[in-house]
C-alpha cells in the first residue's frame, strides 16, 4: 500500500521561535495530502524553550494538520524541565500526542554540557503502520535503530540538524540503517542556517528505502520533499534479506564462548 510522506526542509530564523512557529504552521496548513509529515530537529531555533511554550506550539501544529489521517513528527527541541534540560520531539495527530527523546546528546557540539540524556523511545502506530523516531546523532548508534525495527518499526524518522560537510556521510548512514533493518528511513534537515561555530546547514533531507536502492533527496532550498512509499516493499525485501529475523532468533539463543 502506498503512503504519502512529506519531509519539511526548513529555513529557520536563528533565535526567533515565534517567527519560526508561525512560518511552520503556515507550511503545515498548505500541505493538502500527507499521511506522514516530518519536521527537522530544533526547527524552533537552537535554543531552550519552556515546557508550556513547547506545548502551545504542539497544540497549534495539531490544530493545523490537514486531516485525522495525518501523523506529524515534530523534531526534537531543547526543553527546560524543573531540574534538567532534555531534547524532546513529538508524534502528533488530531487526537494524540506522544513524546520521544534524544538518547545521546552530541559530545562533538557540546550538548552534553547542558542536555540530559533522554529515556523515551516509543514506537507509534498510525493507520496500521508502526513508526519510530531516532533524533539526529542517535542515528550513529546502530543499536537504537535496530531496537526500533525489532519492536516493529516500519518507518524510522530522523529529525536532524546536520552541517553541509557531513551530509554525504549522513545519507550513507541513512541508507545503511534502512537496508540493514529493512525499513524506510526519512531524514529532515534545516537549511539556510548554521552551527554556532559557523558551519553551514544546507538541506539535503532524504528518504531511503529497505532495499538499499530506493532513495529520494531534496536539494539545498527550503520546501517540501514529497515521496510516495510502498510499504509492501518491506515484506518483499525481507523475503530475501533475513537480517532482522536472524537477529530476532539469535536474541533467544545465547552466543557460545567456545
Report the pLDDT value the prediction gives residue 258, as an integer from 0 to 100: 64
User: Is the pLDDT reported for residue 51 higher than 80?
Assistant: yes
User: Cα angle vertex 97, ends 107, 73, to 5°?
Assistant: 55
Task: Tell me the average pLDDT of the chain.
Answer: 96
**pLDDT confidence bin for 89, thresholds 50/70/90:** very high
Give the predicted TM-score (pTM) of the model.
0.96
pLDDT at 194: 92
**Torsion sign (Cα): 247, 251, 253, 257:** positive
Dihedral over alpha carbons 126, 127, 130, 133 (to 10 degrees): -30
In the predicted structure, residue 149 carries a pLDDT above the cut 90: yes
Any domain includes 236: yes
Beta-bridge partner residues of 109: none
Cα of first residue to Cα of last residue in the chain, in angstroms, is 46
Is 246 part of any domain? yes
- Name the grid cell of 128: 496500521
In a domain? residue 128:
yes
Whether 94 shows a pLDDT value over 90: the answer reads yes
pLDDT at 257: 67
Q: Map grid coordinates 530564523 to a residue.
A: 13
DSSP code of 83?
S
258 falls within a domain? no
CATH number of the domain to which 34 belongs: 3.60.110.10
In this structure, what C-alpha cell is assigned to residue 6? Answer: 512529506
- CA 78 to chain CA centroid, Å, is 15
Model confidence over 52-76: pLDDT tens digits?
999 999 999 999 999 999 999 999 9
| Residue 217 is assigned to a structural domain of this protein | yes
Q: How far is CA 65 from the centre of its chain?
A: 18
- Whether 42 and 161 have beta carbons less than 8 Å apart is answered as yes
Decide if 256 is inside a domain: no
257 is a domain residue: no
| pLDDT recorded at residue 13 | 86
- Of 211, 206, 212, residue with least CA distance to 226: 206
Any domain includes 89: yes
Q: How many domains does the chain have?
A: 1
The mean per-residue pLDDT over the stretch 112-129 comes to 98
Cα separation, 232 vs 227, whole angstroms: 15
**Which structural domain range is residue 121 located in?**
2-251
Amino acid at each position: 500500500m502506498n503512503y504519502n510522506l512529506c519531509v519539511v526542509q526548513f529555513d529557520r530564523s536563528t533565535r526567533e521561535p515565534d517567527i519560526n512557529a508561525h512560518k511552520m504552521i503556515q507550511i503545515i496548513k498548505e500541505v493538502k495530502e500527507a499521511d506522514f509529515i516530518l519536521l527537522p530537529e530544533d526547527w524552533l531555533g537552537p535554543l531552550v524553550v519552556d515546557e508550556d511554550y513547547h506545548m502551545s506550539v504542539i497544540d497549534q501544529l495539531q490544530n493545523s494538520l490537514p486531516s485525522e489521517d495525518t501523523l506529524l513528527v515534530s523534531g526534537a527541541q531543547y526543553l527546560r524541565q524543573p531540574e534538567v534540560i532534555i531534547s524532546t520531539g513529538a508524534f502528533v495527530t488530531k487526537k494524540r500526542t506522544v513524546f520521544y527523546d534524544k538518547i545521546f546528546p552530541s559530545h562533538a557540539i557540546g550538548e552534553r554540557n547542558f542536555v540530559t540524556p533522554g529515556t523515551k523511545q516509543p514506537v507509534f502506530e498510525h493507520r496500521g503502520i508502526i513508526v519510530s523516531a531516532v533524533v539526529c546523532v542517535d542515528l550513529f548508534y546502530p543499536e537504537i535503530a535496530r531496537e526500533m525495527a525489532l519492536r516493529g518499526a516500519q518507518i524510522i524518522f530522523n529529525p536532524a540538524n546536520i552541517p553541509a560537510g557531513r551530509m554525504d556521510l549522513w545519507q550513507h548512514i541513512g541508507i545503511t540503517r534502512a537496508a540493514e533493518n529493512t525499513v524506510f528511513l526519512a531524514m529532515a534537515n534545516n537549511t539556510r542556517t548554521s552551527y554556532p561555530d559557523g558551519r553551514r546547514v544546507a538541506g539535503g533531507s532524504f528518504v531511503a528505502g529497505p532495499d538499499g536502492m530506493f532513495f529520494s533527496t531534496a536539494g539545498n532550498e527550503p520546501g517540501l520533499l514529497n515521496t510516495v512509499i510502498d510499504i509492501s516493499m518491506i515484506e518483499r525485501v525481507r523475503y530475501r534479506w533475513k537480517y532482522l529475523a536472524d537477529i530476532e532468533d539469535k536474541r533467544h539463543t545465547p552466543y557460545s564462548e567456545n
